[in-house]
Chain A
Amino acid sequence: MTSELLLQQLANGISLGSLYALLAIGYTMVYGILRLINFAHGDIFMMAAYFMVFSIVTFRLPWYIAIVVVIIVTIALGVLLEKTAYKPLRNAPRMSIMISAIGASFLLENLATYLFTGVPRGFPDIRILTTTVELGSLSLTVATLITPFVTLILLYVVLFITNKTKIGMAMRAVSKDFETAKLMGININQVISTTFVIGSALAAVGAILWGSRYPSVMPLMGVMPGLKCFIAAVLGGIGNATGAVLGGFILGMAEIMLITFLPSLTGYRDAMAFVILIVVLLVKPTGLLGEKVTDKV
């Protein structure tokens, strides 16, 4: 094992991990507020990638405007999803809303297959992100380099919103006790919408960075990342944004290191992610940074 190989793999791991982290924040925030595992999150991410393809390839927007447009449209989709699939079930048993989430996920996947066909679309080449930078013997694209920083900055923004702003205070209150928060005059719907706004915006940013690295856009592209990021969120302690980022980094790094040190097991990469999930649930169900919650789904 040469040091260059190890360095390159570390870079791969950090970059993959930070992509997982971006998506995991979305899972964890929705769970924190609604106690709902938003299975459609990976599909929102997929839709964001398609929006990017259309805004650049079809509408020929410059990339910096396209990014803004995509984030806004993705937020709209996320909020629409919440209003149609989750809000009507607010007082229903938790299992119903979870089934609704699974349905929403299938709906988005099939809608995308119907509208865009199963043939992969190329993610638009944003030069500034896909340029390769040589650092010594390392070869990295700009997207790979900036992803960890983008993730950390966005984590900071999320933490700032939840800890320092009024809406953040309301979010924390709702997450602590839904009923009481409602009785205290907190506008529950607004809080929940805000959560979906933040989660969807992060999914959009994640999709743009993901697409720059893995430029094949197809209807099922969100399935695996969705599951992996769910695992990352559980690993870090679901409901905790810092934990989700930590979980994302650990999972990404673990996958890459498995391939680095045990090349004969490359085919078991996904299996390992699920083994991690099972071990976490057995040994420390609250995850690394999770607080003790008694009512888990």
Chain B
Amino acid sequence: MKRIISLLLSLLMVLALFTACTPANNNGDANGEPDEVVEPGEEDADVIKIGVFEPLTGMNGGGGLQELGGIEYANKMYPEVLGKKIELVVVDNKSDKGEATTAVTRLIEKDKVVAIIGSYGSAVSIAAGDIIRDAQVPTVAPSATNPMVTQGNDFYFRACFLDPFQGEVMATYAIEQGAKTAAVIMQNGDDYSVGLANFFINAFKKLTGEEASIVDVSEFQLNEADFNAILTNIKAKNPDVIFAPSAATTAPLIIKQARDLGIESLIMGGDTWENPAVIDVAGEDAEGIVLSTFFDENDPATNEAVAFVEGYKAELAGKEPIIPAVAALGYDAYILVRDAIERAGSTDGVAIRDALKETKDFEGVTGIINFTEEGDADKNVAVIKSVQDGQFVFIDSVEVK
């Protein structure tokens, strides 16, 4: 008996090991098809491998899955390049900086991918940056907004706008709504949260011309659930708006506890908040929150966008009410990479990088894309959304010169 149980237990543990490595693909993959398993060393000449490096578990798991959905849909629409089939190799970086480097190394060393797409979450992207640069594997981040992702890295590109821009957009919006004071909550150690929070603080101070307009800045740590103490401090200062850029797992906790404490200020977040989990978990308390994001399905900017919205909407039917912006960006990142490989005419890292750099007026789902010197998509429009009746609704699109 003892032996059987210990055997069973060790079997379970081995199983658990695998769960850590194989991403929960069945969620992102619309067809529910299992990933193809390719043995190491087995080189298939008819296949071009593109690595996908996303958080599928951990604090950003929800967003990573959304982004992966867009990438996989793009792969379905454009399955080939240079006459060969494109194979996506998905790895989970678990929203963890340490895991991120391992995951990227695996893609490069073991799977020998020619290019990488990812990741949702700036911190993991920054952590993997050096490996990507040294291995000369061109990478496009769909939605990592922190400037440091592409700074000084010739091989890292991105399809979205940057946090200095996003921070300014949110500060501008808050002030337009009549806000004079703001409190900021950020996650200590998370590059995205700290970066965006500080850009917001600078923009808000500059726009109000008042150093004291930021009445409170609080930090919290990974896996924190209790925000009552921070929020009680904030309540005493009675700010007009609370800006709390954070993961979609944390957002509902902040929102709910704020409303439970009787805080009526406008609560705002960044692009990560556009996730159904925020509304699911926070329930009624999510009503009225404001966030900025990259894309609105009701306002397709290009022909590609029209086709994407129609096709992907059908794919998502019954699963998500709206197309998440990060899925649109994931789609764009994929077609950008594919286009670059096509134009480069080879799978050489440097050639693809050069082709990416030369991208000119590329028609993506989230608008016309050109890259700046730094490898950032040259975008100056953000979409502001709010939650009404349990849905994300479009309120405004903001253009900053």
Range for the number of chain A residues in contact with chain B: 35 or more
B222 smallest CB distance to A (angstroms):
8
Where chain A touches its partner, the secondary structure class is helix
Where chain B touches its partner, the secondary structure class is helix
Q: Is B261 a contact of A121 with CB atoms below 8 Å? A: no
Give the interface centre of B224, B226, B235 by most chain A CB atoms within 10 Å: B226
- Which of A106, A113, A267 is close to B219, meaning CB atoms less than 8 Å apart? A267
- How many inter-chain residue pairs (CB < 8 Å) link A and B? 151
Q: Which of B1-52 contact A (CB under 8 A)?
A: 2, 5-6, 8-9, 12-13, 15-17, 19-20, 24, 27
A155 smallest CB distance to B (angstroms):
21
- Which of B61, B226, B281, B283 is close to A117, meaning CB atoms less than 8 Å apart? B61
- Which of B236, B256, B277 is close to A5, meaning CB atoms less than 8 Å apart? B236
Complex Cα gap A29–B6 (Å): 25
Q: Is B62 a contact of A119 with CB atoms below 8 Å? A: yes
Q: Is B253 a contact of A224 with CB atoms below 8 Å? A: no
Is the C-beta of B80 less than 8 angstroms from some C-beta in chain A? no
Complex Cα gap A9–B261 (Å): 11
Q: Please report the total number of B residues contacting A with Cβ < 8 Å.
A: 55
A102 smallest CB distance to B (angstroms):
11
Is the C-beta of A85 less than 8 angstroms from some C-beta in chain B? yes
Q: A111-B19, A119-B62, A215-B281 are in contact. Are A220 and B223 (CB under 8 A)?
A: yes
Is the C-beta of B370 less than 8 angstroms from some C-beta in chain A? no
Top-9 shortest CB links A-B: A118-B61, A118-B57, A267-B219, A114-B19, A122-B281, A110-B16, A214-B225, A139-B262, A267-B188
Known: A15-B228, A103-B13, A270-B221. 16 other contacts (CB 8 A): A2-B236, A8-B235, A8-B261, A13-B229, A106-B16, A111-B12, A117-B61, A120-B248, A121-B280, A139-B261, A139-B262, A213-B257, A216-B281, A220-B58, A260-B233, A266-B230
Q: List 18 A-B contacts (CB under 8 A).
A: A111-B19, A113-B20, A113-B24, A117-B56, A117-B61, A118-B57, A118-B58, A118-B95, A120-B252, A123-B281, A130-B260, A215-B252, A216-B250, A216-B252, A216-B281, A221-B223, A224-B223, A267-B188
Which positions in A face B, CB cutoff 8 Å? 2, 4-5, 8-9, 12-13, 15-16, 83-85, 88, 103, 106-107, 110-111, 113-114, 117-123, 125, 130, 132, 134, 139, 141, 210, 213-216, 218-221, 223-225, 255-256, 259-260, 263, 266-267, 269-270
